[in-house]
Amino acid sequence: MRQAAGESLVEGRNEWFVETYCPSCGSQWMECGRDLPEEPVRTLLIEQTGLWAATVDDAALGSAIMRALRRVYGGLLSDAKRQADRLRLEGMTGTRGELMLLAHQLGELGVHLTVTNQIPGSMDELPPRPAPTPPHHIGQPGAEPYPQIGRDAITVSERPRVAAYLRDAGCVVAGGALIDPVSRDPRDRWPDAVMTDGVHCWSLAWAYLVERYGAGLPTWFLEHIRALDYCPPQVSLERLMTVSIEEGLEPMANTDDRLVADFSEPQRTRDS
């Protein structure tokens, strides 16, 4: 038997999966769950995705840390206090998913949690996923170095505004789906589309990468978004048609004066 495991933070909850494949008979199945994984899934996640460590500024409010810890791990106030003291003084370890969930809860309370990999996992059973088309000047894909899909390159407070710009721009063509290239979770699929503000083009998936991970965008493109106060200009149908030709794409049809991708949330699919 071969197994692969992973976790994703989806709408404020940790979702995990375990894929199992039998090379003898060719059967394949998946087990899924939410929130904190129990054994033996937790051990498998650490083996596959590594052991992760979390640290927080020792000046952070203890009450906020305790509140977030109880949201994630439950338990009594006394348990949360011991965990909070350990987190502030020594840090704590866990699966990436549970610590990212804790980071999410702390972020809502104004506390930044740093999550780093302490012991790498094997992760060799889960194949790499195709990366989305990066932002580029129209008709010039590949002219710029590919941006790093790193985490926390954009601050938590700025992410919603940047993601809104990427999502609310004109849509040249929509269709298909991309698997999250960071988690590589086969359940975690985002609708894809080619978006434009009339000057640049990019994959809609970047809106989700920014929103979820704070993924880094090219500096010149991020400065362009800020200069427009995070509001994409309206793109006429005529300009969208021109962009589709310059990008070598098939444009969407039957539209009025603007094409907008109606994707407000990532699409989650479950493979049986």
CA atoms within 13 A on the CB side of 185: 27
Same domain for 85 and 144? no
Same domain for 109 and 216? no
Same domain for 100 and 223? no
Q: In this structure, is residue 129 part of a structural domain?
A: no
Helix axes 96-108, 62-73, angle to 10 degrees: 130
Domain count of the chain?
2
Give the DSSP letter string of 226-251: HHTTT-PPP--HHHHHHHHHHHT-PP
Give yes or no for residue 197 having a pLDDT over 80: yes
What confidence score (pLDDT) does residue 258 get? 34
Give yes or no for residue 9 having a pLDDT over 60: yes
Same domain for 88 and 164? no
Q: Give the span between the Cα atoms of 62 and 68, in whole angstroms.
A: 10
Q: In this structure, is residue 145 part of a structural domain?
A: yes
What confidence score (pLDDT) does residue 24 get? 82
Same domain for 150 and 250? yes
What confidence score (pLDDT) does residue 206 get? 93
- Give the domain range for residue 178: 136-268
Same domain for 112 and 146? no
Question: pLDDT band at 5, cuts 50/70/90?
Answer: confident
Give yes or no for residue 217 having a pLDDT over 70: yes
Give yes or no for residue 253 having a pLDDT over 90: no
Looking at 119, 153, 180, the residue that finishes a domain is 119
pTM over 0.85: no
Q: Give the span between the Cα atoms of 244 and 247, in whole angstroms.
A: 5
